[in-house]
Amino acid sequence: MNFIINTDNYAFSPYAITFISSFIISFLIAFIILIKNKVNKNVAMLSSFINFLCSIYCAYLFSVLTADDMVEQLGKISFSSIGGLIGVAVGVIVLGQIYKEYRTKLIKAYTLVIPLMYSISKMGCFLVGCCYGMEYSGAFSVTYHGRFAACTGIELFPVQLLESVVFLIIFLFGLLLEYIIKSQKTVIILVIICAISKGLLDFLRASHVGIVISVNQVSCLVVIILTMIIQFRYVKGCDSDG
């Protein structure tokens, strides 16, 4: 089975639809989680609004700062998933400082839905041909046509589709950890799994060909290191208190 996608056939951009849907669906689930955890409704609504703004801003800023030509990138509408993640993290940290009584619940709710948000948004990338994979002519290869596709007429690895599936599985695994297994380390586990998965999948992108390590992979490595440091300090703090 192989995919052939002509971007000229779309009446509306599927990228825009999935991009907006990723926020609506994911933040709605986060809102429900927060309400069920007895977070004030106004705080829960505010968190969705603040995190949306922070995510959009940081996703655009990161794409500009990491572009080969920042001036040219300023004129484009492009969003980085890593930047979006940083934006949500910034939003949650700020809100956690303001509403300290809800800090843990805010962190957990948005950590749970971030994989789903990424999964939905990557379907848009797959349908329009951005963030495309390396050249590949095997099973499930995708070939893009049309003036809106970034790479046309070449069989490519469907890395965006694979990312979407992988992160949907991570989202479901997170729910399993939190509500079935009732793990005390759901946030740490999910963050590390997401960072590792994102870093490994980046090897399959066309943009990775010819380079040893990408900006995305460096960012993922930083996230993993920071997460482990935070976890180590948390455990050490608990041991000291005990």
Q: In the chain, where are the structural domains located? A: 3-241
pLDDT single digits (tens) 41-88: 999 999 999 999 999 888 888 777 776 665 455 556 667 777 888 889
State how far the Cα of 131 lies from the Cα of 122, in Å rounded to an integer: 9
Query: What's the confidence (pLDDT) of residue 226?
Result: 87
Q: Which burial class, exposed, middle or buried, applies to 184 when counting CB atoms under 10 A from its CB (0-12, 13-18, 19+)?
A: exposed
Q: Are 169 and 189 in contact (CB under 8 A)?
A: no
pLDDT single digits (tens) 15-24: 889 988 999 9
Looking at the chain, the whole-number percentage of residues with pLDDT higher than 90 is: 69
State how far the Cα of 89 lies from the Cα of 134, in Å rounded to an integer: 30
Indicate whether 219 pLDDT > 50.
Answer: yes
Please give the model's pTM, rounded to 2 decimal places: 0.89
pLDDT single digits (tens) 182-212: 998 999 999 999 999 999 999 999 999 999 9
Query: What's the confidence (pLDDT) of residue 32?
Result: 96
Indicate whether 6 pLDDT > 50.
Answer: yes
Q: Label each residue of 54-110 as H, E or C.
A: HHHHHHHHHHHHCCCCHHHHHCCCCCCHHHHHHHHHHHHHHHHHHCHHHHHHHHHHH
Q: What is the number of other CB atoms lying within 10 angstroms of the CB of residue 182?
A: 9
SS3 label, residue 131: coil
